[in-house]
Structure 1
Amino acid sequence: MATKSIKQVLTGASPHMVGDGFRVSNYVPGPYGITRETNPFIMLDYNMPHYFEPSAYRRGVGEHPHRGFETVSIAYEGQIEHRDSSGGGGVISAGDVQWMTAAAGLMHDEFQSQEFAETGGLQHFIQVWVNLPAKDKMSPPKYQAITNDSISTVKIDDKGSVNRIIAGNFKGVNGAASTFTPIEMYDIRMVTGAEVSFDLPALFNTMILITKGSFIINNEQQAKHKDFVLFNHDGETITLKAEEDSYAMVFSGEPINEPIVSYGPFVMNTQEEIIQAINDFNSGKFGSI
């Protein structure tokens, strides 16, 4: 198969606080406005490793609404607790993933866990928003608690290099998440000198966020921690070689070629649907926690 060539290597916006508990750099849409080239991934925040002092209270973001998409939180370090008005919730720790489908609408909050607040420590995670097609935007909300031990792992070598398949299929092994549209989401962790090649559909929007270390991609391009790599649609094969112990999060998905109209926590297809979402929220139809 042909190589999937690199279009751009980007960095995110300067870090900012979301609530008082998450110090994130926004990559999508980010300073480049690249939603069209990353769809169905319409928002990506990266909380690079950041130390929080012990606290007498839990830091985070209070109750707020969502409609029309899914939120996926991927934890490397720290603990995050989620609750929502559909009954979903739980604490995610290192290696865990929380996949919340807001769809028709819900209220939720996100805070550091009580244990993390009391002890303090490093927090390191990703949150990505996954768009839903028009036919599924008003489906019932749901929650997938994907624990570290439930994520399928494929060995890359005998030295500890692995691919954790969160969604999709990697060399015949299925990911843990259920998705509405075709999505590949891999958490690749490699030791120094390890190399792996894999194929993704040419027409998928594909990107890689480097979350630790440094890679050589396709035997030509270096990408270091915090780099965000966008690929063209001219091939299928990507090759990664780790220059040191390194992590890469791969996001690839079939584009949803429908209009996107967004307003804060609502992502729909028309302005009328946004107005309806606001009215439904104001009238209490999203419920409460």
Structure 2
Amino acid sequence: MQIIKSDASVKKLLRIQRNPDQHWIGDGFPVRTLFSYSALSPMISPFLLFDYAGPMEFSPTEQRHGVGEHPHRGFETVTIVYSGEVEHRDSSGGGKIGPGDVQWMTAASGLVHEEFHGRDFARHGGVLEMVQLWVNLPAKDKMSPPHYQSILDSQIPAVNLPESQGRVRVIAGEFEGIAGPAHTFTPINVWDLYLTSKQPINLAVPDGYNTLLAVLKGSAHVNGSETISAAEVGLFDRAGDYIRIDSAHNTTALLLCGEPIDEPIAGSGPFVMNTAEEIRQAMADYQSGKMGKIQAH
């Protein structure tokens, strides 16, 4: 049971971020970008971007639906699958993830990768639902070697909340002393929540950290009055020791909390660095093949 100190203060909800517009990434991922660093950087750091794909039904096919070869440098991508299957290949390897699994890819100094629906999923068809989160890297780590963490559902600890209030899967960081399996460069909590209670739930999060509650399904009533509905993200003040969820029913959400990286951001498409010159260098390195190539099957 999380202990909330008697002198703790609740983090204030600053705004609710939403985007009803859907766009396609390749021909396999219909996404809504629920937040992006271009306008919200101080409020969301160390997180950069959050795409919510689906849920959408795909018919059986022998075609490959997804997004082809493209580069990244300077940050990490975190893909969480709720339904469906994603096959990933990059210039250092690849893997496949299904429901409950997580792909934590550290692009860092640069790699080239592709993402497609899993072949079995494509043949049988079904509902695809997933999210992809971009996590910034501090300047000192942006040119680290690329790294890939394939985290299966069975490797992610789950903590049941008291009185049948729901469940927390700890992907990164720590909840009630239970550590998640993901390695991170800066202190980050990524909790996958399923909440089923009309009773209040207090979730302890560090003072000074940016905290976001991304509701995917259902709704969450917070801080006594505000409602964060499906496909919306609540952005909270850095000050405060916990967030209060007054009630939630059959709600799937992600709690994202992290120590801000208060450094300049220069971004262009698939590259997120600190200066415009570093972006130009990233483009040159990709074009010259320094980020590697995906090996043919």
TM-score by length of 1: 0.95
Contact kept in structure 1, 2:34 and 2:231, CA below 8 Å: no
Find the aligned partners of 1:134 and 1:33 in 2 and give their Cα distance: 20
Out of 18, 26, 34, the position equivalent to 2:33 is 26
> Amino acid of the residue matched to residue 67 of structure 2?
V
| Residue matched to 1:190 | 195
Out of 7, 10, 16, the position equivalent to 2:14 is 7
Contact kept in structure 2, 1:48 and 1:211, CA below 8 Å: no
Contact kept in structure 1, 2:56 and 2:128, CA below 8 Å: yes
1:134-213 aligned within 5 A: 134-157=139-162, 159=164, 161-193=166-198, 195-213=200-218
For 1:34, what is the secondary structure of its paired residue? helix
For 2:261, what is the secondary structure of its paired residue? coil
| Residue matched to 1:16 | 23
User: Could you tell me how far 1:46 is from its partner in structure 2?
Assistant: 0.8
Find the aligned partners of 2:261 and 2:168 in 1 and give their Cα distance: 26
Contact kept in structure 2, 1:153 and 1:165, CA below 8 Å: yes
| Residue matched to 1:268 | 273
User: Could you tell me how far 1:222 is from its partner in structure 2?
Assistant: 1.8
Contact kept in structure 2, 1:67 and 1:105, CA below 8 Å: yes
| Residue matched to 2:137 | 132
Q: Structure 2 regions of 5+ residues with no counterpart?
A: 1-7
% same residue = 45
> Amino acid of the residue matched to residue 82 of structure 2?
Y
User: Could you tell me how far 1:35 is from its partner in structure 2?
Assistant: 2.5
Tell me the alpha carbon deviations over residues 184-227 of structure 1, each in whole angstroms, 9 at most, x when there is no partner: 11001122435431211221111111011122213332222112
Give the length in aligned residue pairs.
Answer: 287
User: Could you tell me how far 1:241 is from its partner in structure 2?
Assistant: 4.1
Find the aligned partners of 2:247 and 2:56 in 1 and give their Cα distance: 24
1:225-236 aligned within 5 A: 225-236=230-241
For 1:117, what is the secondary structure of its paired residue? helix
Find the aligned partners of 2:119 and 2:14 in 1 and give their Cα distance: 43
User: Could you tell me how far 1:48 is from its partner in structure 2?
Assistant: 3.2
Tell me the alpha carbon deviations over residues 241-280 of structure 1, each in whole angstroms, 9 at most, x when there is no partner: 4442111101111111111111111111111111111111
Task: Calculate the aligned-residue CA RMSD, in Å.
Answer: 1.5
For 1:135, what is the secondary structure of its paired residue? helix
User: Could you tell me how far 1:13 is from its partner in structure 2?
Assistant: 4.5
Moved over 3 A (4+): 157-160
For 1:185, what is the secondary structure of its paired residue? strand
- Pick closer, same or farther for the CA change 1:137–1:243 going to 2, 3 Å: closer
User: Could you tell me how far 1:44 is from its partner in structure 2?
Assistant: 0.9
